[in-house]
Structure 1
Amino acid sequence: MKHHHVSFKEYTMDNLTLPSNIADLIPSDNMAHVVHEMVERIPMETFLPYYKGGGTSSYHPKMMTKIILYAYTQKMYHGREIARQLEVHLPLMWLSGFQKPDFRSINRFRSER
């Protein structure tokens, strides 16, 4: 049996070249962009009364608001599920700035803010 010359497109999983803006990887009609724009319009003063200061630094309230609102639009309601998706779901990763609050932090933010 004669074999034909087979060629494959080159690819490498090392040294990937990603766009400088991760948002470019997310389709422009994705709800993550809407959530981002909406939350960015909320004045920071809105969040400050819920923080007493001192102690360790907190996750940024706009970031937490973004990931929770976006998760709700995707029918993700449980803190553990949201925390898991922060590891793999690109729009959530972008909205969080690649930070990974655990489920306790997510649930605490929802219950205290």
Structure 2
Amino acid sequence: MSNFRQVDRETGFLLPPSVDEWLPERHLARFVVEVIERLDLSAMVKAYRGSGSASYHPSVLLGLLVYGYATRVFSSRQLERATYDSVAFRFIAANDHPDHDTIATFRRRFLKEIEGLFVQVLMLAREAGVLKLGTVALDGTKVHANASRHSALSYEHASKLEAQLKAEVKELMALAEAADCADVPDGMSVPEELARREQRLARIAAAKAKIEARAKERFAREQADHEAKMTAREENAKKTGRKPGGRPPQPPQPPTAGPGPKDQVNLTDE
């Protein structure tokens, strides 16, 4: 007898879940959040008027951008969806869900500040001993302290590294802008008319019935064609008096085998 774990998507939590429990301690998303918490975001914070509906804190939006771009998620729509689909992004967003317009507007409004802060994140990661931040490779060469006899060399090396990281951040921002300019819904969400579960189930059932009816129609046509071929084969054998050569036509698969691989149904109104 099969033994499966229970599948239960309906029962709620007895206690509110904690986002802090969702990720392992060594996850990159934790590192990004902790680094950003130590950056000076006062210029961004002061740029908000403080009136109207509450805004998302710059640390949240910056965290989504930094982690997203470091893991090659550039589109604002993809970032928004990731706050639902990805545990790491949900952790960074504190289980909130900034929409794609908010994310794109934040990036464009504070582009220069974000570029500088992003470089700071990468430099801090390198100094902390992180050799890669997502897909962004950091130079692992140790930089000597200023008191060292190699201080001039280390300063030159650090300057080159910073210039390299600035160039890489600019490229990431350009990729993000290009992704947003070309951004269209990518089919990961169901249409508006299928938003509610009851509607989805009804439409799925109707689609399934159509496909099954089409499978029966296909079987009836193929069965009639098969019978016609067999009749012609038998008549030819009677005329010639010889047993037909070759293999007889194969009968079609019965409809109980389910729809054929090419059977489909249009879910939009016909």
TM-based fold match above 0.5: yes
Report what 2:100 is aligned to.
Answer: 103
Between structure 1 and structure 2, the one with the greater Rg is 2
The structure 2 residue matched to 1:15, chosen from 5, 11, 17, is: 11
Deviation at 1:11, TM superposition (A): 2.1
Indicate the structure whose relative CO is greater, using CA pairs within 8 Å and at least 6 residues apart. Answer: 1
After superposition, give the CA deviation of every residue in 1:37-94 in whole Å (9 maximum; x if it has no partner): 0111124524223213323221111111111111111100111111111110011011
Residue 26 (1) aligns with residue 23 (2):
yes
Residue 81 (1) aligns with residue 78 (2):
yes
CA contact (8 A) 2:37 2:59 kept: yes
The structure 2 residue matched to 1:58, chosen from 55, 66, 81, is: 55
CA contact (8 A) 2:61 2:103 kept: yes
* RMSD between aligned residues: 2.3
CA contact (8 A) 1:19 1:25 kept: no
CA contact (8 A) 2:83 2:97 kept: yes
Deviation at 1:111, TM superposition (A): 0.8
CA contact (8 A) 2:68 2:79 kept: yes
TM-score, normalised with respect to structure 1: 0.79
Report the residue type matching 1:37 in the other structure.
E
- CA distance in 2: counterparts of 1:49 and 1:23, whole angstroms: 28
**Which runs of 4 or more aligned residues in structure 1 lie more than 6 Å from their structure 2 counterparts after TM superposition?**
none
Residue 67 (1) aligns with residue 64 (2):
yes
* Identity score, percent: 23
- CA distance in 2: counterparts of 1:48 and 1:29, whole angstroms: 29
Is the helix fraction higher in 1 or 2?
A: 2
TM-score, normalised with respect to structure 2: 0.36
Residue 36 (1) aligns with residue 33 (2):
yes
Instruction: List alignment gaps of at least 5 residues for structure 1.
Output: 1-5
Paired positions, count? 108
- CA distance in 1: counterparts of 2:49 and 2:12, whole angstroms: 42
Report what 1:93 is aligned to.
Answer: 90
